[in-house]
Structure 1
Amino acid sequence: MSNKQPNILFIMADQIAASALPIYGHPVVKTPNLSKLAESGVVFDSAYCNSPLCAPSRYVLMTGQLPSKIGAYDNAADLAADIPTFAHYLRAQNYKTALSGKMHFCGPDQLHGFEERLTTDIYPADYGWFPNWDDLKTRPTWYHNMSSVTQAGPCIRSNQLDFDDEVVFHAQRYLYDYVRREQDRPFCLTVSMSHPHDPYAIPQEYWDRYQEDEIDPPKITINKEDQDPHSARLQEVYAYHDQALSEQQVRNARRAYYGAISYVDDKIGMLLKTLEETGLADNTIIVFSGDHGDMLGERNLWYKMSFFEGSARVPMIVHAPQHFSAKRVKESVSTMDLLPTFLEMATNTTDHHYAMPIQGRSLMPHIEGNAGGHDEVIGEYFGEGAIAPLLMIRRAQYKYVYCAIDPEQLFDLENDPDELINLATNPDYADLCKAFKQEALERWDSDAMTQDVLISQRRRRLIVKAMNKGKKLAWDHQPIFDSSEMYMRNHIDLDDLESRSRFPKIV
């Protein structure tokens, strides 16, 4: 890499399944911009999130720490202000750090190292969406249900369209403003869209990019009585069995989801065009990934919240042809590895002094094609559907899932990519399963983690109850724009105002 600090554009899509993208073999979905990035970029074929739920996954991604290390248990967990994020580390390296879009921060700190936050978040910043392990019989009203599937189809506008249109508009403006002003510091701009996250609703334009007869149905059906315990709990979480789903409803949901991916791809195309127009493309490393996937009806499961491939695996592309040659990476890595990767990209060195131990490992050996890259993902899940810690080890061709109250799961993804054969019950794999279990028991104290989760839930339950009494002060981020410095204003000479706003500048 060059000694000049590169800019970093980190693009995120919410709930985007790797298996639904043509760069990973999907024959129907259309993503010309992502495919173009992949052709000249580094594509990770086995990338995972470390906790398949929005907020925990993003906290892990931001901090390089597993959920149990930072209390990232669920979608209402607090991210402590004193946990350094990649935004803090890059800002300390003189980067401008900005976020446009979703990051699902809960708690009073809504910046976590970002110098600027260009939009509010689409999700609330309070502690209201917590599971309750003290009351497992009551299903909270805020849980997912199947309306996203039963009501899937075209729409003119939606909550998420309003949000993502704003996210990309402000991201483009940020890039335009960057080149119109002093470029004394490199930037790390995070652009985080909420699509293709359910509800599965998308404008007619994107719906019509796909014909009904080309929408592939789920490949795998698992009967209710054959589901593993965690999957059965997930079906209870989103009331899967409260209504019968028709083939048409499932097809509509998948068609709208594919349309939403094409919508995201169009937005990425807008960002790529802005980089080219502003002359920033050559010195900007583009990283694309997601926070988790979507089961999309496979195994009769929807949304995320499990360690099956559709839920836990994510796309990951690193595009910087000026710095790295195109390649495919087969080793298993995770989004937890992005913090040390971004820092190494920014500093061009592996000699870092972290403020606290980092559990993520740099992806640079993989990106540069050097020896020494890791092949391991560690996962933890404590959110909806879990009533005890759900723990995962992904290494070589195997995936091992341990939960103290559920049967073990062991899959050979090389020979069984659909995870249909649980080798934990196969005597021929008894030694391997025993070794994985021993590692899990040494790595984690499930009883202690359970108590930590319970205490965290109880604390937040009390805080929510208290803060709903009397005067309320919302933590949701409020973007502030200095209107006195925008557009036409009398305190600025007209020629100066027009000159500083025009790009390219007139010489």
Structure 2
Amino acid sequence: MSGAPGRPNVLLIQADQFRWDCLGSAGHPDVRTPHLDRLAADGVRYPDAYCPLPICTPSRYSLLSGLYPHQHGGWTNHCTLAPGLDTFPRALRRAGYRTAGVGKMHFTPTYLDVGYDRLTLAEQHGPGRYDDDYHRELRAAGLAPVLDLLDQEEHLRPLAPASYWASYGTGRSDLPEEWHSTTWIGERALDELAGWSDAADGEGRLLHVSFIKPHHPFDPPAPWDELYDPAALTLPPGWTERVPAADLPHESGYFDYGDGLDEPVLRRVLAHYYATITQLDHQVGRLLDRLHDQGLYDDTLIIFTADHGEYLGFHHLLLKNGPMYDPLVKVPLLVKFPTPPGTGRAGAPARPPARRGETSGALVSLVDLAPTIVSVCGAGPLTTSPPAPGLDLSDPAADRACVFAENRTFGPMVMARTRTHKLLLNGDQEGGRDGARDALFDLAADPQELDNRIDDPGSAEVLGELRAALTRWALFDTPVPTCLDEDAPRVHAPNVPPADPARRAEHRAYFDAQVRRAAPAPTAPIEP
């Protein structure tokens, strides 16, 4: 199978729960990301990029399909991208690309066929961890990620010691670095890149590398856990000493964010969250170095992004369950476009000029990545009907006046955001989830989103404009119900286990036993 001459390769690197501003290139005062910074220096950084729904699976399906959740029907972490929807991996595979994914995909079923020839998976939440390659290898090595299991598996959380709750799921990983998910994913991605040197002339390759981290628990392995001194860190903008009254309906999420989340605890969270980012950055550097060593870097479209952000103390909140404030709904986005083809590249698709070290002022969304990738690769438009709504970011003029997001986890919630204002609607003018009110923020005057101007007569005009924008955004779309098909087509490959409930249950029982054996009594602390 061979693609067109001069067709660029694609390396898509995705993180989970990565705040948009946790990059040296974004001006962060503490976190160290030298390799992502050099990627930014070679490409375009989009500081105003947003996810369409700040939950893992829905956001990932939007990235793949170029559709919003109300169009693709992936509303929860346990849902299926309908096989009839086109994706950029499918479009590239039709065009002759060889396609592969490594790491966390969060699909249902676990090895769902979305256009990848093969998947090598490391999952974290739900049944995927009892199907994937990573946990099969951990079991064969006699290992178990105890802290991760205590944090992620609801039936095991009662076994968590008091120190887990007091630290908000922060601590050193119980796995050695070589078995930590970040290292494991990086190694398997390097194995995939090694095969790129064997590609036939003009044969395109796509690799999607998806890291679990810095998603909670915040558990870097040694020696990464000692990288940052909590006392030396700068508190993030938007940190408040207590949960604001408007956010009290959201204070009891995955943890209770009341009196226990004080400044010393937050500093420890920051230190370990940043450590997982720097460890991830190290693996990104290895991938970039491999492309350089193989002479493929210049001619590869490289994208780094995340599925959603992280509050990290914003409004005294952690993680992601709550309003679509910027730290949650914004994502990092770096795009290194391939170098335009030189002489002797007859038949190569047209490409944009190289854009090095550029910071774009555009409002962009993860729905823009699918149309961008197929455009740069000359793979034709996605076949979705109606057409995917995203922008082609290879056009330097690509921009929009307003960006949108949505969520149905706690009832209908939508966001409309311009460069200066944000409107959050909770589905009930009198109060949404547990009394949460609709909100309008003047971001120029109030970047920390603390002053709700929804009732301000002076804001009536901009409120009307944003409501109208939301209406136009979904005017012709009837929201698609959640799609769930446990029997949807899966990737056909030797590493894909049979869909056998007994096998999955036995695998789960093994890890449950390891946790019960390793976990101390609930009143005892976990040793650091």
Distance 1:39 1:399 in 2: 30
Match of 1:377 in 2: 403
Residues in 1 aligned to 2:453 and 2:156: alpha-carbon distance in whole angstroms: 32
For 1:133, the equivalent position in structure 2 comes to none
Per-residue deviation, residues 429-457 of structure 1 (Å, max 9, x unmatched)? 11221232244356559xx86x946xx79
Which ranges in structure 1 are unaligned for 5 or more consecutive residues? 129-139, 461-469, 476-507
| Preserved CA contact (<8 Å) 1:97 1:187 | yes
Residue type of the partner of 1:409? Answer: A
Distance 1:161 1:227, change over 3 A: farther
Q: Which residue of 1 aligns with 2:390?
A: 361
In 2, Cα distance between the equivalents of 1:23 and 1:269? 15
CA distance in 2, matches of 1:433, 1:341: 32
Q: TM-score, normalised by structure 1?
A: 0.78
Output one character per residue of 1:44-95: Cα deviation in whole Å (capped at 9) or x when no partner: 0100111001111111111111111122111112222222211111111111
Aligned-pair distance for 1:151?
Answer: 4.2
Secondary structure in 1 aligned to 2:58? helix
User: What are the Cα deviations for residues 216-263 of structure 1, in whole angstroms up to 9, with x where unaligned?
Assistant: 2344355777433xx434322324157623432211111000111100
Q: 1:431 to 1:375 in 2, by over 3 A?
A: closer
Distance in 2 between residues matched to 1:473 and 1:355, nearest whole Å: 37
Question: 1:409 matched to which residue of 2?
Answer: 439
Counterpart AA for 2:408: F
Name the structure 2 match of 1:204.
222
Deviation at 1:412, TM superposition (A): 2.6
What residue in structure 1 maps to residue 268 of structure 2? 252
Matched, 1:170 2:188: yes
Opposite residue 174 of structure 1, the aligned amino acid is E
Q: 2:329 — aligned with what?
A: 312
CA spacing shift, 1:254–1:93, aligned 2, 3 Å: same
Task: Say whether residues 1:39 and 2:57 are aligned partners.
Answer: no
- Go from structure 1 to structure 2 and tell me whether the alpha carbon gap of 1:375 and 1:342 turns closer, same or farther (over 3 Å shift): farther
Secondary structure of 2:48's match?
A: strand
Moved over 6 A (4+): 142-146
SS of the counterpart of 2:454? helix
Specify the code of the residue in structure 2 equivalent to 1:355: T
1:73 pairs with 64, 75, 81, which one?
A: 75
SS of residue in 1 equivalent to 2:203:
coil
Amino acid of the structure 2 residue aligned with 1:347: G
CA shift in 2, pair 1:342/1:311, >3 Å:
same
Alignment of structure 1 residues 93-492 onto 2, 5 Å: 93-107=95-109, 110-125=112-127, 141=154, 147=165, 149-157=167-175, 162-180=180-198, 182-183=200-201, 185-221=203-239, 226-228=244-246, 231-241=247-257, 244-305=260-321, 306-320=323-337, 322-323=339-340, 324-326=354-356, 327-347=358-378, 352=381, 354-364=383-393, 367-369=394-396, 371-383=397-409, 386=410, 388-405=411-428, 406=431, 407-441=437-471, 443-444=473-474, 452=481, 472=502
Pairing partner for 1:17 from 16, 19, 24: 19
Q: d(CA) in 1 for partners of 2:166 and 2:243?
A: 24
Residues in 2 aligned to 1:79 and 1:29: alpha-carbon distance in whole angstroms:
35
Alignment partner of 1:30 is 2:32 = yes
CA RMSD of aligned residues (A): 3.3
Conserved in 1, the CA contact under 8 Å of 2:57 and 2:78? yes
Equivalent pair of 1:41/1:321 in contact (CA under 8 Å): no
Q: From the superposition, tell whether residues 187 and 376 of structure 1 become closer, same or farther in structure 2 (CA, over 3 Å).
A: farther
- Closer/same/farther in 2, CA of residues 149 and 375 from structure 1, 3 Å limit: farther
Give the SS at the match of 2:391: coil
Of Structure 1 and Structure 2, the greater helix share is in 1
Distance 1:398 1:471 in 2: 49
Write the letter of the residue equivalent to 1:40.
Answer: D
Q: Which amino acid aligns with 1:398?
A: H
Q: Does the 8 Å CA contact 2:104/2:212 hold for their aligned counterparts?
A: yes
Shift of 1:24: 1.5
Aligned length: 440
**TM-aligned CA distance change 1:215 to 1:224, over 3 Å:** closer
Show the 5 A alignment for 1:85-100.
Answer: 85-100=87-102
Could you tell me which runs of 5 or more consecutive residues in structure 2 were left unpaired when the two chains were aligned: 131-152, 341-353, 432-436, 487-499, 506-528
Distance 1:296 1:258 in 2: 11
Per the TM alignment, residue 112 of structure 1 is displaced from its structure 2 partner at its CA by 1.1
Of 240-249 and 313-322, more deviation after overlay is shown by 240-249
* Shift, 1:204, TM fit: 3.4
Deviates further, 152-161 or 240-249: 152-161
Q: Take 2:194 and 2:171, find their aligned partners in 1: how far apart are those partners?
A: 35
1:1-16 matched pairs, under 5 angstroms: 4-16=6-18
Identify which range, 78-87 or 372-381, moves more after superposition: 372-381
Offset at 1:312?
0.7
SS of aligned partner of 2:361:
strand
User: Per-residue CA shift, 1:338-369, capped at 9, x if unaligned?
Assistant: 00000001008xx63623224442333xx453
Q: Normalising by structure 2, what TM-score?
A: 0.75
User: Cα distance 1:153–1:216, how it changes in 2: closer, same or farther (>3 A)?
Assistant: farther
Q: State the shift of 1:148 in Å.
A: 8.6
Q: Is the 8 A contact 1:22 1:35 kept in 2?
A: yes
- SS of alignment partner, residue 61 of structure 1: helix
CA pair 222-164 structure 1, distance change in 2 beyond 3 A: closer
Code of the residue aligned with 1:343 in structure 2: it is: V
Alignment partners' CA distance in 2, 1:38 and 1:274: 17
